Amino acid sequence: MIEKITQEFNEHIATAQQSLIQLNDQIEQICKIIIDCIDRGNKVLLFGNGGSASDAQHIAAEFVGRFVKNRKSFPAIALTTDTSALTAIGNDYGFERVFERQIEGLAVKRDVVIGISTSGNSANVLKALIKAKELECEVIGFSGNNGGKMNDCCDINIVVPSNVTARIQEMHILIGHIICSALDDAN
Ligand SMILES: O=C(CO)[C@@H](O)[C@H](O)[C@H](O)[C@H](O)COP(=O)(O)O
Ligand SMILES: [Zn+2]
């Protein structure tokens, strides 16, 4: 058991080190995009499946509530929380459209839309990103596994250098927290 624990920690540390080297500039760029988005009165929309649904909610909650600093509330919505919308859209239009349809109804031009998928290939995430692009949103991906199909539908796709779902998710939430911290500093 202790070997397994050590291996998981070491894998996490190695992924974090590689992510710092490879993703530094993109993360800075995204922080600036989101700070500008909030400053001009737009909002942030986030979504993903499973653990990435939790990440979307976690980040949105820290925008609207707070991260560390007591500052004004920032507009962010996770598209993973409204069970009525998710079940109705899933039932009437299919699971692949659960996020796309919410983007169509909720997103406006220049909102920041963040799709989270460790494979980069979840159909419901891809469809929503494509719709967001049509609506002239700023389209950001949090992915891994070389980015998958998300490479083709994002303005910026952050590709965590790993193909292990858990490690990729751990980097995604770290990046989410870095964005929250940058927003705190800017306000
Ligand atoms: O949290 C985990 C695994 O750590 C799972 O719930 C995982 O998020 C689910 O299998 C997702 O459906 C994976 O989708 P994706 O990241 O490839 O878009
Ligand atoms: Zn998980």
- Strand blocks (E) in the chain: 44-48, 76-78, 112-116, 138-143, 156-159
Q: What pLDDT, in 10s, does the model give residues 26-54?
A: 999 999 999 999 999 999 999 999 999 99
* Any ligand 1 atom below 6 A from CB of 165: yes
Nearest to 168 by CA among 64, 68, 49, 62: 49
168: Cβ contacts below 8 Å, ≥ 6 apart: 15, 118, 143, 144, 145, 160, 162
Q: Is 106 exposed, middle or buried (0-12, 13-18, 19+ CB in 10 A)?
A: middle
Annotated binding site for Zn(2+): 58, 62, 169, 177
pLDDT for the residue 172: 98
Query: Does the beta carbon of 94 lie inside 6 Å of ligand 1?
Result: no
Q: Average pLDDT, stretch 136-162?
A: 98
**Band of the pLDDT at 5, cuts 50, 70, 90?**
very high
For residue 127, what are its two tokens?
A: 């469809």
HSE of 66, CA atoms in CB hemisphere, 13 A: 8
Annotated binding site: 49-51, 58, 62, 91-92, 117-119, 122, 169, 177
| Domain range list for the chain | 2-186
Asked if the interface predicted TM-score (ipTM) of this complex is over 0.85, the answer is yes
Closest CA to 132 of 67, 62, 79: 79
* Reported confidence tier of residue 139, pLDDT bands at 50, 70, 90: very high
Torsion sign, CA atoms 92, 121, 170, 111: negative
Structure confidence by residue, pLDDT tens digits, 52-111: 999 999 999 999 999 999 999 999 999 999 999 999 999 999 999 999 999 999 999 999
**pLDDT score, position 133:** 98
Question: Tell me: domain 2-186, CATH 2.40.50.100, correct?
Answer: no
| Ligand 1 in reach of 118 Cβ (< 6 A) | yes
pTM equals: 0.98
Q: Is the CB of 15 under 6 A from ligand 1?
A: no
